[in-house]
Chains A and B, each alone.
Chain A
Amino acid sequence: MKIQEAVTFEGDLNRDFLGEIRTRSGCHEIDLCIQCGTCSSACPCAAFMDYTPRKIISMIKNGFKEETLKSYTPWLCASCYSCQVRCPSEIKITDVMYAVKRMAVEEKVFPARFSIPSMDKAMHEILTTFGRSSEVWLMLNMALKTRKPMPLLKMIPLGIGLMKTGRMSIKLETIKQRKQLRRLLKAVKEEENND
């Protein structure tokens, strides 16, 4: 009989995870979490999450790195900051969620075909290239990333409504100084790696 591991043993946990999230989010208050659950009760999206915000904080503090980075929770954070303004320990929970998302993207363990990370990555690509966002191009880029054409097709009636009211165009928007932006972003990355 093969014994299946139903729990995570302490030896499997990542002891550096808390420190990394602390540095990346700039939020040192995470150490002060008392697990009161105010964040989860304030969160308008908690009902849709696989782990509530309170659990995510606890998972970070205890080194559940893999589970945290693969979770849908940070991608279901709408950045409304309700948890953050109510947290009695003043933990910048929204910033912690951003830090988790960035780390998941870097380590390529985010839910890849889920629409939200695809949208964030598509937006990031468009903005760092053209400096401006263009809705139609964003949606096309997203569809390629998720490899799901249906959401795009479902948007067509809305797109027509927006075009009729002059609220959408298919033009690719761009800043004039694209070269300056490219040099700036390159320099920022070089500086960052110079540690």
Chain B
Amino acid sequence: MIDYVYYPGCSVKSSAKHYEESILPVFRELGVNLKEIEDWNCCGATATPSVDKSKTSALNGRILALAEKEGEVLLAPCAACYLSLKKSHLFLTGGSKDAQKILDALKKQGLEYKGGIQVKHPLEILTREIGLKKIKDRVMRRLTGLRVASYYGCQIVRPYADFDDPENPIIMDDVMAALGAEPVDYSAKTRCCGGALTANIDAVGIELNYLLLKEAKRKQTDVFVTLCPLCLFNLEISQNKVIKEYKQDLHTPVLFFSQLMGLAFGLSKESMGFQRSLIPLDAMWKKIESGENNE
């Protein structure tokens, strides 16, 4: 077993519970143990940087300092946490006077940060460290014929694009292909879901998500997979509003990539949190069964 330090963030403990429920066992199946940071705090996502920069750096500095006591690589499954931690790490290690002030304040509270953390996304570990071959070998139930649109959203690939292209990433499509599924050539894969705007301003949410849903339908998508709790949430909650506005049947279930991995690894539906979907999954199950019969 290899250990990595794990930062869950608030979403995977609440609205995206099925992300954590699936990612921890899937990694365990592949010989990786994710160790949760003790007494972690939230990162602030896009909210606190809009109000106070130094407090945002301090909140993230506390997380980084706690993580550094446990290891070198910090895994953050949520795109907003990933970016927030990465951005703060770069700021705190950038050598500016402002950064030094934050580091000093952290140190005084027993939270020294030496700058030794590498913030990574679990997908990066899956494809670069564990490797697609190992994933393929572990598959017990191939997802033959299932048309999966990998939706990456924004913050995992932008602005840093450390492990994939900022406009046309393929890392999640590769994982889906390794499971035997059929990756959809999804042109809207990095178009924005509206982030924190979608739940608050209907006009924005409907317009942005209409584009995402329409493109998926046009490519005969059975299911979306995503890596971001907010992308999943927005795509789910805006479906009824979009359908009402545009009068087209655009219902498409949205899952985390790790849920489909667990399913392909032969783990139970319940343990992977499939029952938590707000969109009915019946059509998807039928497609998976018919794919299995045709094998």
Contacts and interface: CB of A to CB of B under 8 A. Distances in A.
Q: Do A and B bind each other?
A: yes
A161 B279 CA distance: 11
A80 B154 contact: yes
Contacts of B200: 115-116, 119, 151
Interface size class of B (residues with CB under 8 A): 35 or more
A158 to B, nearest CB: 6
Contacts of A111: none
A98 B10 contact: no
A101 interface: yes
Interface string A119-151: 111011001100111010000000000000001
A194 B17 CA distance: 43
Contact of B109 (A84, A133, A173, A184): A184
Contacts of A169: 14
B15 A162 contact: yes
Contacts of B72: none
Contacts of B45: 123
Contacts of A101: 50-51
Contact of B14 (A135, A158, A185, A189): A135
A157 to B, nearest CB: 10
B108 interface: yes
Contacts of A123: 44-45, 47-48
A109 interface: no
B44 A166 contact: no
Interface stretch (B35-43, B116-124, B215-223): B35-43
Contact of A124 (B44, B105, B111): B44
Contacts of B208: 44-45
Interface stretch (B137-145, B158-166, B246-254, B255-263): B158-166
Contacts of B237: 158
Interface size class of A (residues with CB under 8 A): 35 or more
Given A123-B44, A158-B237, A184-B105, A102 B10 contact: no
Main secondary structure of the interface of B (DSSP, over half): loop
A120 B53 CA distance: 13
A80 B158 contact: yes
B54 to A, nearest CB: 5
B112 interface: no
Contacts of A153: none
A76 B41 contact: no
B286 interface: no
B13 to A, nearest CB: 8
B275 to A, nearest CB: 7
B155 A120 contact: no
B243 interface: no
Contacts of B50: 74-75, 98, 101-102, 105, 117, 120
24 contacts: A26-B96, A47-B207, A48-B203, A75-B50, A78-B195, A81-B154, A81-B159, A85-B166, A98-B49, A98-B50, A98-B53, A119-B47, A120-B50, A123-B47, A124-B48, A124-B51, A124-B52, A128-B55, A173-B13, A181-B41, A183-B109, A188-B57, A191-B104, A191-B105
